[in-house]
Every structure is written in C-alpha cells, then in structure tokens.
C-alpha cells in the first residue's frame, strides 16, 4: 500500500478463517506494520473474536468512550455534539493532534490497535500511518549510538498533560519507561519507539538535553518512503502494530457527517492465539 508500509487483504471473510488461513494474514501484518482487510460484515462479538486472534483485547483507559455494554470496544466518532449543540473537539479530532503510537503510557504498551468502519463521511476522515523501522533507519549514526539502551518516560498526555478524555479519578498517571530504540519481539527489527505527545523525558540526560533530543527525534519520525494514507470504506478492518509504527487521524471531515468506528486495544498473546498453536 505504501513503499515500506501497508498491505491489503481481499477475498476473505474473517468470520470463517481457520488457523491455516489466518497464519499468512498474521505474517503479512508483521511484514507490513499496517493491514487492511476489506468488505467485512461483523457483529461486535465477531469483531472481538477476530481481534483476539492477535492478542488480548483490553478496555481503553478512556471510560467515557467505551461501549456501554462491551467495555473492550471503544466507540469512535459517537456523541461528538454536546447538549448545547456545540462540537466536542476532543471527540471529533480524536487522534488528529499529532503522530503517535497507542498505549505508550502503559507499563505493557499496546501491541496493536484495530478499527472496524461502520460509517464514513463523504470527504476527508483518512488515517495516516508511518513506519518506525524507516524512522530508525533514517537516524544518523550518532543518534543511534546515543539512544541505544536509553529509555524514555511516558505518561498519558505527556508534557502537555492532555487528559480530557479520562475520568477525573484516572488522571493521576505515573510515568512508565520504555526503550527509545525498540527491537521488535517477533521480527527482530529495530524501530524508533517514540511519541511526542506521551513522552515526558529521556532518562539519563539533563532536562534541556532531553527536550532537545525529543524535538530532534520528532523530525525523524515521518519518512516519505515509510508512509501510507488510508481512505476508509465501510466494512474495512485496519490493524496496526504499535511496536513499530505511528499514526494520526486527518481530523478534516464534515462535522455534520458520521465517521464511526469500533476500536479495540490489543496486548500480547491472547487465549485464542495460544489455543491455535
């Protein structure tokens, strides 16, 4: 789909995939960071069942946007107008504030995020992706050596403390620590594990040096041959690997139109994957 990121799967029904049929799909996802499966018709339970083949589905910390009956499902694009009729920007532009990776604020970051498209606007509303592998490859050798073995402190909201989607009782977020140069546990490839909106500091250097490094790394995140822009269609399932990619929503669709997805957050190996092996 892009020079070094993105793969499209067509002609399959994820509801009927056996283990042999799923294996090459899983491998294609590992090889390409982002995978699009077209033309699916799913209930919530069918979407969850398929998602669990990639790992453990966990509720997102934003309780206010969870499905009221199925907490593992986050509802994107729902209830974006307040009681006064005004557009709630945090919901309308969710994911559009900048390039990021999901779950870096967690001690065990999200392995993957998966979306299923229910309603798509007539214009705009794309999701953009970029490879962390190509970002790492683009780093000058001095930065690779300087960052090897070094960790960053990450929190929900990062240095900007943007936590409006969290309930009040959930806003006291303590930093967690992850390597900036991350070796993918399944592919063995190195990537730049980075999120300017969630990182607070780089450990082992002064505050001034940390801020300068964060600014410099932000400039290396997005490489032209590592990008893919997804134009949604109803029935699309898109999964991306948070261990080696970044993404952001375009945040540019007509506010009076619907852009609605089911979203799941996935951690490491789940019961259905283990049973399949």
The β-bridge relationship of strands 227-230 and 7-9 is: unpaired
pLDDT band (50, 70, 90) for residue 166: very low
Sketch out the chain's domains with CATH numbers. Answer: 7-269 (3.60.130.10)
From 66-75, 113-122, 189-198, 268-277, the region with the lowest mean pLDDT: 268-277
The CB density around residue 103, as the number of other CB atoms within 10 Å, is 26
Give the 3-state secondary structure percentages of the chain, helix then strand then coil, rounded to 5: 25, 25, 50
Q: Which tops the pLDDT comparison, 168 or 63?
A: 63
- Is the predicted pLDDT of residue 173 greater than 80, yes or no? no
Binning pLDDT at 50, 70 and 90, where does residue 158 land? low
pLDDT category at 23 given cuts 50, 70, 90 is very high
Give the pLDDT mean for 259-275.
76
Report, as an integer, the average pLDDT of 109-138: 97
> How does the average pLDDT of the chain come out, rounded?
90
pLDDT band at 194 (very low <50, low <70, confident <90, very high): very high
DSSP state of 81: B
Q: Which residues contact 239 (CB under 8 A, 6 or more apart)?
A: 29, 34, 35, 54, 112, 113, 114, 115, 266
The proportion of the chain whose per-residue pLDDT surpasses 70, expressed as a percent, equals 91
- More confidently predicted of 40 and 163: 40
Where residue 161 falls among pLDDT bands split at 50, 70, 90? Answer: low
Long-range contacts of 7-11 (CB under 8 A, 24+ apart): 7/31, 7/32, 7/34, 7/35, 7/36, 8/35, 8/36, 8/38, 9/35, 9/36, 9/37, 9/38, 10/37, 10/38, 10/39
Residues, the chain:
277
Residue 135: pLDDT over 80: yes
pLDDT tops 60 at residue 127: yes
What local confidence, expressed as pLDDT, does residue 271 receive? 42
């Amino acid at each position: 789909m892009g020079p070094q990121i993105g793969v499209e799967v067509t002609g399959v029904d994820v509801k009927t995939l056996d283990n042999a049929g799923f294996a090459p799909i899983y491998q294609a996802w590992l090889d390409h960071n982002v995978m699009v499966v077209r033309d699916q018709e799913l209930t919530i339970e069918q979407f969850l069942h398929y998602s669990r083949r990639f790992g453990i589905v966990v509720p997102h910390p934003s309780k206010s946007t969870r499905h009221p009956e199925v907490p593992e499902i986050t509802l994107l694009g729902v209830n974006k107008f307040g009681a006064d009729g005004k557009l709630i920007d945090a919901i309308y532009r969710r994911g559009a504030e900048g390039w990021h990776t999901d779950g870096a604020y967690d001690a065990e970051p999200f392995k993957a995020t998966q979306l299923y498209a229910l309603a798509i606007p007539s214009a705009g509303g794309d999701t953009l992706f970029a490879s962390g592998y190509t970002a790492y490859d683009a780093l000058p050798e001095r930065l690779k050596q300087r960052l090897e073995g070094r960790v960053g402190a990450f929190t929900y909201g990062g240095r900007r403390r943007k936590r409006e989607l969290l309930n009040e009782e959930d806003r006291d977020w303590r930093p967690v620590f992850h390597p900036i140069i991350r070796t993918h546990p399944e592919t063995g490839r190195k990537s730049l594990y980075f999120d300017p909106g969630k990182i607070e500091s780089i450990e082992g250097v002064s505050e001034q040096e940390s801020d300068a490094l964060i600014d410099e790394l932000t400039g290396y995140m997005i490489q032209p041959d590592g990008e893919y822009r997804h134009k949604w269609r109803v029935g699309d399932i898109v999964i991306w690997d948070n261990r080696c990619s970044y993404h952001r929503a375009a945040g540019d669709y007509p506010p009076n139109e619907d852009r609605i997805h089911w979203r799941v957050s996935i951690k490491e190996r789940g019961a259905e994957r283990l049973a399949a092996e």
